[in-house]
Homo-oligomer: A and B are copies of this chain.
Amino acid sequence: MRLAELSERSGVSTATIKYYLREGLLQPGRRVSATQAEYGEDHLRRLRLVRALIQIGGVPVAAAREVIAAAEDESLDHYLRLGAATRALPCPEEPAEDDPAVETARRSVEALLEQLGWSSGPGLDMLNPAHRRLIDSVAALARLGYPCDTAHLLPYGQLAVQLAVTDLDMVEEQPTPTGQIEAAVALTVLYEPVLLSLRRMAHAEEAARRF
């Protein structure tokens, strides 16, 4: 199909598609003449994924490019690609304040990981952006005077384990390796708003029940 049709079927303007092509989020189409290119169903599928990551998941364009690149890096094996793709996902990172609260938070988190039985290799922690973000968030809560020690975090950690099991079950439903990578990325990102929305709705529900 032509650019115009790709645009129409995806609901993304041609200008934006061109932008994504420039940014490397989308493979260029098969050139059919000096001034025209042909796109296929896989382009459409990819475009929909990119669009969902950016619009629903709030993933920045640059990060989406990294994810896409990692997902189709043929030089890695399946598991490494999966890890690379998910690690490329953004954890909106703040410039770490050198606060005593951060050190306390780091210890709380370390203790939490131990209680959860998570194998936190000493180098792996710091490489994982999620780990940094967790520490920063806990530190912010502590700075405001809210309890956020290991005991408080533990139930959240246990719930996270349940979530991960459910999520990976869905990933393993995918038949092809590429499909699994894509599913891992899409489900990781797109279930985040689902989860947060449900939590907020549950807050409202529970608050109404209590008052």
Contact = CB atoms under 8 A, between A and B. Distances in A.
B138 A203 contact: no
Interface stretch (A21-29, A61-69, A125-133): A125-133
Interface residues of A, number: 81
Contacts of A104: none
Contacts of A160: 195, 198-199, 201-202
A101 B58 CA distance: 20
Contacts of A194: 134, 137-138, 141, 148, 153, 156
Nearest to A143: B48
A52 interface: yes
B187 A192 contact: no
A140 interface: yes
A206 interface: yes
Nearest to A113: B201
A37 interface: no
Contacts of A162: 155, 159
A126 to B, nearest CB: 13
A167 B203 contact: yes
A196 B192 contact: yes
Contact of A199 (B79, B153, B173, B195): B195
Contact of A118 (B52, B153, B205): B205
Interface string A181-196: 0011011101111111
Contacts of A211: 78-79
A130 B83 contact: no
Interface of A: 11, 45, 48-49, 52, 55-56, 58, 78-79, 82-83, 86, 89, 91-92, 94, 97, 99, 113, 118-119, 128, 130-131, 133-134, 136-138, 140-141, 143-144, 146-148, 152-153, 155-157, 159-168, 170, 172-173, 183-184, 186-188, 190-208, 210-211
10 contacts: A49-B144, A55-B140, A83-B204, A86-B200, A138-B194, A147-B170, A152-B170, A155-B166, A163-B199, A167-B203
